[in-house]
Amino acid sequence: MIPNKIDSNLASDAVDKLIEMDPMLTQYKPQLMKRYNSYLELKNTLEHYGNGIDNFSMGYKEYGFNRTEDGIWYREWAPGAVKAYLTGEFNNWNLTSHEMTRNHNDIFEIFLPNNEDGTTAIKHNTRIKLCLILPTGERVFRVPAWIRRTVQNLKSVYWDPPEPYVFKHKSPTKPEKLRIYEAHIGIASPELKIATYKEFTQNVLPRIKYLNYNTLQIMAVMEHPYYASFGYQVSSFFAPSSRFGTPEDLMELIDTAHGMGIYVLLDVVHSHACKNTNDGLNHFDGTDHQYFHPYPKGYHPLWKTLLFNYSSLEVLRFLLSNLRYWIEVFHFDGFRFDGVTSMLYLHHGIGGTQFTGNYEEYFSDATDLEALSYLMVANDMLHSLYPNCTTIAEDVSGLPGLCIPLAEGGCGFDYRLGMGIPDMWINFIGSRREEDWSMNDICWTLTNRRNNEKTIAYCESHDQALVGDKTIAFWLMDKEMYDYMSDFSTLTPLIERGIALHKMIRLITSSLGGESYLNFIGNEFGHPEWLDFPRKGNNNSFQYARRQFNLPDDPLLRYRYLYEFDRAMNELEEEYGWLNSPQGDIHFTNQIDKVITFERGNLLWVFNFHSWKSFADYKVGTKHVGIHDIVLNTDNKRFGGFGRIDESCRHFSQPGRFANRDQFIKVYIPNRTALVFKYSN
């Protein structure tokens, strides 16, 4: 079947819409057309040669192991192999009794009929391996590429429980704005161990609900041999990590979250793969170019991982099917795509590459059109088949149109991560004296994002907490957190400062930084120290690979103040919805006073970052005539403040031009304090 000719008007119309949103793109229309046509050509190819994208992307129902009423089919793509055999506990590891048949698409297949008593030829939870004969005559053993269950030490398992998990709850409706709790299952316990899906379900989901997060983003789900890789060196893309429990345990976690009204995202890794051979995709069929580009194009020199060949139809089938598998089998609601910058550019954003915002950086020969086309097709498929799905791009480059709908010339993601924001905070806290903090720089960084492209703001994620860095709380308070976080200990100047600024940093990031907000597990209460997974270099210690939830739970420790503030902040956002309101209107900054005021979400925000100076009767411009009441005060005693403000005091607007407003109120704003006001007539 010959693919239909691409309608050039379709690309031109879409690109024109994008240029209308950003006229600076006008001179790059040829590159944008090339980008869009590349996507359309790939989509067209899949529609015709793949018998429709819907069918093409359901490979997980055809490849790997699939049980029918009569038996089990097993199929594997291995073009470089001469012969293939299935072996395992089911045939006492006989290497030749179950030879597979090769079809015209280089796919080996075998059907194992049921036993006479109706049971399957391969028992649930028994070990299996693929044995391939290479052209050299060499025999190699592989973990099946589409395997759904692996355990450590190279064990692949046939997984077909007699009683499949039955989901009880429907997915929540796609939120208009995301308040994301980013979590890693293994570290989600104060104990020195790897935590489990079941423990997370029982112990952490109630916390997420209590803190008023509406979205859970789970890291390190896809199986990875090296625990310390944080889940970013994936070996088995269809197998949830067995370190944390069974696939059914993960299903129960997601189902329970849905029952609580929590939307669930998977941190999906399609930018690269682990270079392991015995339990990964590397040299799967004996060649270095089956799933990946050959060396050196297929090797990431910084990550030391392998890069997919997005021009291969079978690789695309594998990846697109992988997305549908996690949605249809596990009921994930969407994805955070890891390493998008590495995919977008042939230089992968490394080797001294700097993204300055110059548009020439985005539209050069360095663009990887094959990878970008895959991402666009993936977004097209996900949003067409699953309108409730959300996609997030981890991109540091700021590629124009990345989070614009495909019909409007964009790449189709819903959100991008605001990756410059945490860098700013670490720079301020770690490298500048507090008196040198620039209010204009804070406002610029928090609002410097592309029009019509949604951004997820965050102060810190897992990246900032890794060994070699530390959490914001530890940057602020350092080793004094070990001795002075008890209510019975001296409130030192460093602890006082840290608690105050930790709240203000979170609040101004949430209120100004984007259209959604993300918090990494534990940072809601100012988790101390850093993250360091068990590895040879630390004697395989779990000391820094855990989350000490005992800290906010202790009524005598000051961590609970930060924890309760996080809850109050999210609760207020749910009520007033500033995240899905237009960008904040900053109408006043004063570098000497260290004051910032702005309006967003029908609220008035006042921040005083001054380290020691409080202001009485401080003028704050407002658009509203009437009463201004405090709805959030970071200095409240229940948040670890000093209680210097009478929150029952009502602030009446007064006529008079100030800060580009026709009205103003006078407020008492203590040092290192933020106030949020609502309006009433």
CATH number at residue 140: 2.60.40.10
Number of domains the chain is built from: 1
Check residue 1 and give its pLDDT: 42
pLDDT tens-digit map of 289-307: 999 999 999 999 999 999 9
Check residue 26 and give its pLDDT: 98
Question: What is the rounded CA–CA span in Å between residue 324 and residue 555?
Answer: 45
Residue 308 is assigned to a structural domain of this protein:
no
Q: Above 70 in pLDDT, residue 676?
A: yes
* Residue 464 pLDDT grade (very low, low, confident, very high; cuts 50, 70, 90): confident
Cα 176 versus chain centre, distance: 17
Check residue 50 and give its pLDDT: 81
Residue 99 is assigned to a structural domain of this protein:
yes
Q: Above 70 in pLDDT, residue 78?
A: yes
Check residue 270 and give its pLDDT: 99
Residue 140 is assigned to a structural domain of this protein:
yes
pLDDT tens-digit map of 438-455: 999 999 999 999 999 999
pLDDT tens-digit map of 484-510: 999 999 999 999 999 999 999 999 999
Residue 108 is assigned to a structural domain of this protein:
yes
Q: Above 70 in pLDDT, residue 546?
A: yes
Structural domain span for residue 120: 59-158
pLDDT tens-digit map of 160-185: 999 999 999 999 999 999 999 999 99
Residue 532 is assigned to a structural domain of this protein:
no
Q: Above 90 in pLDDT, residue 325?
A: yes
Mean pLDDT value of segment 615-641: 98
Cis amide prior to 296 (ω within 30 degrees): yes
Tokens coding 244 = 């944390």
Check residue 587 and give its pLDDT: 97
Q: Above 80 in pLDDT, residue 98?
A: yes
Tokens coding 375 = 């991402």
Check residue 133 and give its pLDDT: 98
Which residues have a catalytic role annotated?
A: 338, 394
Question: What is the rounded CA–CA span in Å between residue 16 and residue 8?
Answer: 12
Check residue 107 and give its pLDDT: 98
pLDDT tens-digit map of 272-293: 999 999 999 999 999 999 999 9
* Residue 3 pLDDT grade (very low, low, confident, very high; cuts 50, 70, 90): low
Q: When comparing pLDDT for 661 and 152, which is higher? A: 661
Residue 660 is assigned to a structural domain of this protein:
no
Check residue 4 and give its pLDDT: 62
Question: What is the rounded CA–CA span in Å between residue 229 and residue 520?
Answer: 17
Contact 509, 457 (CB under 8 A): yes
Burial 157-182 (b: 16+ CB within 10 A, else e): bbbbeeeebeeeeebbeebebbbbbb
Residue 250 is assigned to a structural domain of this protein:
no
H/E element holding 474? Answer: helix 472-477
Residue 107 is assigned to a structural domain of this protein:
yes
Q: Which of 447, 456, 676 is nearest to 572 (CA)?
A: 676
Rounded mean pLDDT of the chain? Answer: 96
In the block, tokens 């609580």 appear at 260
